[in-house]
A and B are shown apart, each in its own frame.
Chain A
Amino acid sequence: MGDCRLHRIIPPKIAQKIMDVIFWASGIITLLILLMVIGYVFYKGLPVINLEFLFTDPMDSGKAGGIFPMIVSSLYVTFIAVLVSAPIGVGAALYLAEYAGENRTVRLIRFGAETLSSIPSIIFGLFGLAFFVIYLRMGWSVLSGGLTLALMALPTILAASEVSIESINKSYAQGSLALGATKWQTVSKVVIPAALPGITTGIILGMARAIAEAAAILYTVGAALITPISLLDPARPLPLHLYILATEGISLDNAWGTAAVLVILILIITVTTNTLVDRYRKQMMGR
């Protein structure tokens, strides 16, 4: 046993101190990496951001002007993605955790979801091109892009929701059933409300995955520089705009500005939901 040998060489109290420092350092390093990346994006990007940048159309392919259509595009495709994937993901999670026993179908669904989440996003993009854009004739559009992102967000939402529903104390459901509630009343009035913080976190994780994705929408959403209105309009979400600005050497400054806006957007979404989820959880648990 390595543990025992370690104890023989180093006195336990000193070993404890050493490990404390190692764990502390690991935490600090993680935090520093995060701050470095976000800090650098802000350092390069924030100077570019002003009201004009946020609220006007791009000019000269994005070399000048703003990124308003891209912000709208990002919110639009993400909204579609969550609208489609959240009900399916949460529904499947409820089925797996509450209704299905342990059988082959259930294991197959779980295996399917796990596999889905490990498929590279560019392959989702290629599939979206073949299926939504060409086969279903949706063309390069907000709809095609949103649906492709929905496929990507689905396994994330399913996995997080299932864990959250599974972790709900089984005694709640027993108490509800013993009062004469039906299975559906128990699930809808006790299990789902208790699992809501976890389910919400899952949806936000899926949303964050969708809003940050470039590869999956590369072949599906087009690259229009105008603000999309209809579901079938082409669009250019922020990550795609960032990709084009940088790879085609249009404007590195505006690429950093776009990146900073994207990061801020994601921060706003996560911080707001975390606050709301925390408040709900405290109210529910009486602390």
Chain B
Amino acid sequence: MEYIIEAENLNVYFDELHILKGVSLKIPKNTVTALIGPSGCGKSTFIRTLNRMNDLISTFRMDGTVLLDGEDIYNPKVDVVDLRKRVGMVFQKPNPFPKSIFDNVAYGLRVHGINDKDILEHKVEEALKGAALWDEVENILDKSAMGLSGGQQQRLCIARTIAVEPEVILMDEPCSALDPISTTKIEDLIHKLKKDYTIIIVTHNMQQATRVSKYAAFFLHGEIVENGRTEQIFLEPCDQRTEDYITGRFG
């Protein structure tokens, strides 16, 4: 199997708090991997080490390695800007910019130096189609993104992310602020996107994990208790703690 990300013995600290404790995980290419586990177990911290968003927090320290396509992303020679172009992120709460729908999707492209109007228009349309939003916004591209519904905003954020053509998309509980219909749309979208992208999704929703992911990892107290194929984790977990969590005995 081909792995796109390999995290090896990751330890993450915020000040004296030891958040991730010796986490190792390999993410297979062009699949969906779900990270599950109770709140505060380190799932979000883990995915934020993959695009170095934790670097923004001054008390962050880590050791261990994270390889992307075999390259250490914490090597001092690595350009963080370039890394974040390759590893995109969709946040828990939809966070479109207070700009037009078009400018939201074009933002990443412009930031990376694409200013040609025809290319921008083409790529924005492609990204919006890719995020299953084009039909709804085709005629209001110049309207503010803040006027869209929560579910539309989240799909816009996905469009914004795929516009810069990343290899990996990190999703941090992307549906937790959405209603069930919008959630279904995002899940359908995830199925569509896995052809071209590797997706890592943090979720608190067990059903969602079984619906969208092929692989899963169960986090508890900053460690990975168990990981493997999603149906194996849910149907025949090896560890008692995994079984307790997925059957709702705690968490």
Contact = CB atoms under 8 A, between A and B. Distances in A.
B35 interface: no
Contact of B98 (A177, A178, A193): A193
A180 B97 contact: no
Nearest to B103: A189
Nearest to A186: B111
Nearest to B86: A180
Interface residues of B, number: 33
B108 A174 contact: no
A260 interface: no
Contacts of A285: 98, 144, 146-147
The residue among A181, A190, A285 with the most chain B CB atoms within 10 A of its own CB is A181
A179 B58 contact: no
Contact of B81 (A101, A172, A181, A193): A181
Given A178-B53, A179-B161, A172 B97 contact: yes
B112 A194 contact: no
8 contacts: A175-B97, A178-B51, A180-B83, A180-B111, A189-B111, A190-B97, A283-B144, A285-B147
Contacts of A283: 144
Interface of A: 101, 169, 171-172, 174-182, 185, 189-190, 193-194, 283-287
Given A171-B95, A194-B98, A180 B147 contact: no
A287 B148 CA distance: 10
A189 B82 CA distance: 18
Contacts of B82: 180
Nearest to A191: B97
B129 interface: no
Interface in B129-165: 143-148, 157, 160-161, 164
A175 B144 contact: no
A101 B58 contact: yes
A169 to B, nearest CB: 7
A180 B85 contact: yes
A141 B206 CA distance: 74
Nearest to B93: A171
A185 B143 contact: no
B108 A180 contact: yes
A56 B56 CA distance: 60
Given A185-B111, A189-B107, A177 B97 contact: no
A98 to B, nearest CB: 12
A285 B53 CA distance: 27
Q: Secondary structure at chain A's binding surface: helix, strand, loop or mixed? A: helix
Contacts of A172: 95, 97-98
A185 B51 CA distance: 18
A174 B84 contact: no
B97 A286 contact: no
Nearest to A282: B144
A177 B56 contact: yes
Given A179-B164, A182-B81, A189-B107, A286 B91 contact: no
B88 interface: yes
B89 interface: yes
B229 interface: no
Interface in B27-66: 51, 53, 56, 58
Nearest to B83: A180
B81 to A, nearest CB: 5
Contacts of B107: 176, 179, 181, 189-190
Given A175-B157, A178-B161, A179-B160, 11 more contacts: A171-B91, A172-B95, A174-B53, A175-B91, A175-B95, A180-B85, A180-B164, A182-B81, A193-B98, A194-B98, A284-B146
B98 A180 contact: no
Contacts of A189: 107, 110-111
A136 B147 CA distance: 54
Interface string B94-112: 0111110000000110111
Contacts of B110: 189
B92 to A, nearest CB: 9
A284 B146 CA distance: 8
Contacts of A179: 84-85, 88, 107-108, 111, 160-161, 164
Nearest to A179: B108
A193 B98 CA distance: 9
B58 A180 contact: no
Nearest to B95: A171
B147 A287 contact: yes
Interface in B203-240: none
Nearest to A169: B95
Contact of B99 (A178, A193, A287): A193
A164 to B, nearest CB: 13
The residue among B91, B98, B144 with the most chain A CB atoms within 10 A of its own CB is B98
A180 B91 contact: no
B146 to A, nearest CB: 4
A185 B148 CA distance: 25
Contacts of A286: 143-148
